[in-house]
């Protein structure tokens, strides 16, 4: 087998001269819409400043573009297909019982750390997580409330692990049936909201009508509000005097809640901002290394010196690539999908290298994937409000073939499926081999057709 370097690890740990604290910041539904990633429609000065002080990963994947499965991979270092959180917590999915003592807060608490969380957890069973402090604000979008809570926790004695989960830029929901929306501002933040007329379209949708522009503008306003909250939080960390002893990781839990984004395995669903500052280890730079949310647990355990999981992890510590841009690293990056809520089971597997990406839709031809996400219905609008190439992409999204292949250099928005094209035969065959090898290596239960049928017949709850 070629050097796939998925870098599975049982994690050799290095002793630390002093305990390293951990501040782990997540943002709901945050795609690559920060100034440091090229966003021009809004300003994100605080996140951009932080990115310049650490390492900004250009190609970072979540394990699955759905909240609970994505977060489960962060907590366990295992893909959802291995940890059991196949879909949302409120859909009845939960971690396998044997993994419930192997999550980040539990491992760090056993190592003497204070563990805290502000905002949602959304991985089940929630009572299996060991927190010394848990604050569930009514609304973490009221970003001025978050930093004072965090500062109080950080100032106490003993090394700490604090996870702060911002609700932005996730959509709001109200009423039954649910009405999804993004408010232009919350508590006056942002001060000058982006207006719909200035909201250019997502290049991976290209659906142009007034409602889509309004939705896009207010999603971006939520990103701007998040930036304010992160800025206040990082300032609080500085005031405690502990910034130089704190590993800070900032990440989105998956891409934007728009069709062809969240709940898919397209780049707009899987790729997220991933920013890391590890004092004494990271050297400020922009990294082209392909990283994943399964790398978070190994990195935190490495930084803290805590005893590792007893399971063979699917990720690896980022220590080497944080300090050395030329360090050897993985050559392929994989992700997956199972469920979002408790609805349609549409398993997908995806793998990419530095140019091509392969998607395997395991139930293609048997069932169509779920449509619509958090109030977005761009696919329906594309019939009249999008150019031909985008319309075709939405048709593929609605009823995909078994395999999709994209050249990410010439088609970064994944509009042109190249699967079966003779001129790309070698790339397709190579990625199929690597995907198969990765699935075997990670013991993907969906290799067994009986498992697929079992989940397909699963009743909600």
- Total domains present in the chain: 2
Nearest C-alpha neighbor of 251 from the set 6, 19, 23: 23
Residue 7 lies in a domain: no
Are 53 and 249 a contacting pair, CB within 8 Å? no
Same domain, 313 and 353: no
pLDDT-above-90 percentage for the chain: 89
**Same domain membership, residue 133 and residue 170:** yes
**Does 346 lie in the same domain as 285?**
no
Residues 306 and 374 both lie in one domain: no
Report if residue 3 sits inside a domain: no
Does 96 reside within a domain?
Answer: yes
Query: Which pLDDT score, from 0 to 100, does residue 137 have?
Result: 63
Looking at residue 461, its pLDDT comes to 59
SS3 96: coil
Give pLDDT, residue 12: 44
pLDDT given for residue 14 in this prediction: 43
| CA–CA separation, 438 and 81 (whole Å) | 12
Residue 10 lies in a domain: no
Q: Which of 299, 331, 363 is the last residue of a domain?
A: 331
Position 10 scores a pLDDT of 45
Same domain, 235 and 377: no
Residues 251 and 343 in one domain: no
DSSP lists the bridge partners of residue 23 as: 162, 248
Give the structural domain span for 271: 21-331
Q: Is 376 helix (H, G, I), strand (E, B) or coil?
A: strand
Q: Which of 331, 349, 383 is the last residue of a domain?
A: 331
pLDDT of residue 367: 95
Q: Are residues 79 and 145 in the same domain?
A: yes
CATH number of the domain encompassing residue 154 = 3.40.720.10
Structure tokens at 422: 């003779």
Residue 13 lies inside a defined structural domain of this protein: no
Residues 327 and 356 in one domain: no
Domain end (from 294, 313, 331): 331
Answer yes or no: are the C-beta atoms of 119 and 25 closer than 8 Å: no
Question: Does any domain span residue 6?
Answer: no
Does one domain contain both 158 and 298?
yes
Q: Is the pLDDT of residue 409 over 50?
A: yes
pLDDT tens digits for range 349-394: 999 999 999 999 999 999 999 888 999 999 999 999 999 999 999 9
Do residues 456 and 363 lie in contact, with contact meaning Cβ atoms separated by under 8 Å? yes
Under 8 Å between Cβ of 172 and 183: yes
- pLDDT at site 423: 98
pLDDT above 70 coverage of the chain, percent: 95
Residue 257 has pLDDT above 90, yes or no: yes
**Ramachandran class of 317: left when φ > 0, alpha when ψ lies in -120 to 50, beta otherwise:** beta
Q: Are 206 and 284 within one domain?
A: yes
Render pLDDT for 303-358 as a digit per residue (tens, 0 to 9).
Answer: 999 998 889 999 999 999 999 999 999 999 999 999 998 789 999 999 999 999 99
- Confidence at 80, pLDDT banded by 50, 70, 90: very high
Same domain, 365 and 300: no
Q: Are residues 103 and 122 in the same domain?
A: yes
Q: Which helix (H) or strand (E) holds 233?
A: helix 210-240
Number of Cβ atoms within 10 Å of the Cβ of 152: 14
Residue 14 lies in a domain: no
In-domain check, residue 161: yes
CA dist., res. 239 & res. 175, Å (int) = 41
pLDDT mean across residues, the chain: 94
* pLDDT for res 460: 64
């Amino acid at each position: 087998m070629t050097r796939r370097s998925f870098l599975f690890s049982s994690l050799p740990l290095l002793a630390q001269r002093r305990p390293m604290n951990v501040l782990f910041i997540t943002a709901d539904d945050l795609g690559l819409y920060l100034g440091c990633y090229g966003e021009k429609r809004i300003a994100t000065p605080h996140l951009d400043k932080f990115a310049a002080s650490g390492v900004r990963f250009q190609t970072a994947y979540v394990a699955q573009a759905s909240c609970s499965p994505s977060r489960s991979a962060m907590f366990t270092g295992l893909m959802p297909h291995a940890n059991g959180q196949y879909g949302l917590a409120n859909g009845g999915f939960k971690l396998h019982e044997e993994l419930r003592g192997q999550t980040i807060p539990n491992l760090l608490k056993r190592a003497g750390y204070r563990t805290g969380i502000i905002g949602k957890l959304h991985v089940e069973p929630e009572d299996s997580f060991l927190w010394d402090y848990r604050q569930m604000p009514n609304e973490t979008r009221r970003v001025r409330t978050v930093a004072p809570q965090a500062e109080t926790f950080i100032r106490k004695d003993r090394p700490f692990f604090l996870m702060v989960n911002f609700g932005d830029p996730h959509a709001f929901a109200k009423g039954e049936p649910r009405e999804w929306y993004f408010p232009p501002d919350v508590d006056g933040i942002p001060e000058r909201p982006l207006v719909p007329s200035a909201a250019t379209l997502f290049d991976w949708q290209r659906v142009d009508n007034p409602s889509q522009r309004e939705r896009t503008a207010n999603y971006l306003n939520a990103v701007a509000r998040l930036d304010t909250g992160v800025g206040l939080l990082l300032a609080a960390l500085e005031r405690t005097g502990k910034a130089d002893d704190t590993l800070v990781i900032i990440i989105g839990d998956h891409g934007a809640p728009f069709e062809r984004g969240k709940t898919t395995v397209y780049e707009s669903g899987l790729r997220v901002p991933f920013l890391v500052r590890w004092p004494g280890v990271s050297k400020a730079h922009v990294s082209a290394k392909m990283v994943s949310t399964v790398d978070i647990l190994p990195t935190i355990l490495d930084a803290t010196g805590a005893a590792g999981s007893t399971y063979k992890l699917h990720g690896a510590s980022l220590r080497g690539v944080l300090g050395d841009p030329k360090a050897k690293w993985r050559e392929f990056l994989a992700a997956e999908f199972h469920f979002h809520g408790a609805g349609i089971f549409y398993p997908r597997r995806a793998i990419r290298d530095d140019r091509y990406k392969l998607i395997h839709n395991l139930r293609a031809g048997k069932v169509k994937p779920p449509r619509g996400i958090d109030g977005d219905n761009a696919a329906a609008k594309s019939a009249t409000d999008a150019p031909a190439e985008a319309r075709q992409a939405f048709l593929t999204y609605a009823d995909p073939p078994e395999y999709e292949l994209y050249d990410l250099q010439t088609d970064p928005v994944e509009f042109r499926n190249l699967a079966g094209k003779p001129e790309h035969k070698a790339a397709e065959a190579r990625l199929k081999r690597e995907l198969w090898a990765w699935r075997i290596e990670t013991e993907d239960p969906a290799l067994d057709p009986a498992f697929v049928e079992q989940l397909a017949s699963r009743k909600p709850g």
